[in-house]
Amino acid sequence: MRFDVVTIFPGMFGPVFQQGVIGRAIERGAIQLHAHDLREHTHDRHRQVDDMPFGGGPGMVMKPEPVIEAVEALRGANPGPVILMEPWGERLDQELAAELARQPGLIIVCGRYEGIDDRVRSALQAREISIGDYVLSGGEIPAMVLIDATARLVPGVVGDPGSLAQDSFVDEMTGWPQFTRPAEYRGMTVPDVLLSGDHARIRQWRRQQAAQRRVPHNKELKKT
């Protein structure tokens, strides 16, 4: 799967995705990630990507031409859908990440300022995605969240597929408390049941714990 990101800060992506599971997947070629500088698609001397909002108001708006041309330049290499990160978009959850992970690629546009000129959405037939009901200063961190959540569901990215199956939101009985060695540390012990070797009891205990742990405002779990 191939991820192309259009951003005014392409340098933000390298440091984040050189690390850990995603970093190793990129090294192995299981996924590809390319961050592209939006300013490469400006036509003026100042390489301007923003301008004042029609109708007035504070702040600046991302101009349509550089974004549309940047995405068009990627279309040959990446056949996937175009995604605009926007706070008012469709909410990212595990189910949406799983759906996106079945695509051959994604072209992700990161907004800045007051947002992106609305003509971009229709011109690119883009899908808007939000990572939650709060406003960040740019689409780069949201894009990273989307890429991470999606990439780890691409076959071959996470080494042990069993760990995906037991993730929270995937298996309804997950999110249970986890413990590893030492069995006692500063007088804090591990629940006896986990040392019992009785797998039926362990499963039952985990199910109970996971149910108790759920934060009340979390929405109903969906099966992916």
Stretch that binds ligand SAH, among 39-47, 49-57, 129-137, 198-206 (CB under 6 A): 129-137
Helices (H) and strands (E) in the chain, counts: 9, 9
Distance CA 13, CA 97 (A): 19
Q: Is 206 near ligand SAH (CB under 6 A)?
A: no
Q: Which two tokens stand for residue 223?
A: 């099966």
Which of residues 123, 136, 190, 202 is near ligand SAH by CB under 6 A? 136
Catalytic residue among 112, 121, 152, 206: 152
Between 115 and 175, name the residue whose CB sits nearer to ligand SAH. 115
Q: What is the DSSP string of 84-121?
A: EEEEEEEEP-HHHHHHHTTSSEEEEE---TT-B-THHH
CB of 168 to ligand SAH, least distance (A): 20
Q: Which two tokens stand for residue 150?
A: 């999606």
Please give the backbone phi and psi of residue 14, each rounded to the nearest 5 degrees, phi first: -55, -55
Q: Which two tokens stand for residue 181?
A: 């060695």
Between 81 and 87, name the residue whose CB sits nearer to ligand SAH. 87
Active site residue 167: yes
Q: Is 144 near ligand SAH (CB under 6 A)?
A: no
CB of 100 to ligand SAH, least distance (A): 14
Between 29 and 134, name the residue whose CB sits nearer to ligand SAH. 134
Stretch that binds ligand SAH, among 107-115, 152-160, 181-189, 210-218 (CB under 6 A): 107-115
Active site residue 86: no
- Identify the DSSP state of 157: S
* Nearest residue to 3 via CA among 28, 36, 27: 36
Catalytic residue among 128, 148, 167, 171: 167
Show Cβ contacts of residue 55 under 8 Å, excluding neighbours closer than 6 positions. none
Binding site for ligand SAH (CB under 6 A): 85-88, 110-112, 114-116, 130-132, 134-136, 138-139, 142
Active site residues: 87, 114, 152, 167
